[in-house]
Amino acid sequence: DMGLIAQFADIVGVMYAGKLVEIGPVRQMIETPRHPYTKLLVESLPGIEVKQALTGIPGLPPPLVDLPPGCSFNPRCPFAFERCRTETPLLQDVAPGQQAACHLYPEHQVLPPLPAMAQSHNGEARP
């Protein structure tokens, strides 16, 4: 629960399928998440001011005993491209004090807004 964590922590690590996918200052990660999973987690937080339907992350997490090749998040990731399906990303610096394990970096500075996520990072329409 990112909202709760923000009240008690300065630095947070986000894990997916047993692996650290992003780490950094909690406020920075809520305002500018760099890993697609973190972005979808933040976008799923309920707002206090406006009542709205809660959103979820499409798909299911993989079984830990049968992880997909490459990035474990790639089957659910709206940004996934071929490299994501074959090569496991390593944590890398993406902003001061913030690291993410994502092949979109260093090419991109930030993730596109969610509505634009139906395309891959190179602009090709996803199937």
Residues 39-53: pLDDT tens digits? 998 888 776 666 666
* Summary mean pLDDT of the chain: 84
DSSP, res 126: P
Question: What is the number of domains present in the chain?
Answer: 1
Residue 126: both structure tokens together: 């996803």
Tell me, yes or no, whether 105 lies in a domain.
Answer: yes
Please name the helix (run of DSSP H) or strand (run of DSSP E) that holds residue 24, with its range, or none. strand 19-25
Range of the domain at 78: 2-118
Residue 6 has pLDDT above 50, yes or no: yes
Q: Which CATH number does the domain housing residue 74 bear?
A: 3.40.50.300
Separation of first and last alpha carbons in the chain = 31
Tell me, yes or no, whether 102 lies in a domain.
Answer: yes
Confidence of residue 56 (pLDDT cuts 50, 70, 90): confident
Sheet holding 19-25, edge to edge: 11-16, 19-25, 98-100, 92-95
Confidence of residue 122 (pLDDT cuts 50, 70, 90): very low
Work out the average pLDDT over 1-8.
Answer: 76
Tell me, yes or no, whether 75 lies in a domain.
Answer: yes
Tell me, yes or no, whether 66 lies in a domain.
Answer: yes
Tell me, yes or no, whether 71 lies in a domain.
Answer: yes
Output 4-9 pairs: Cβ under 8 A, ≥24 positions apart. 6/30
Tell me, yes or no, whether 41 lies in a domain.
Answer: yes
pLDDT for the residue 44: 82
pTM of structure: 0.81
Q: Which residue is associated with the tokens 């206090």?
A: 48
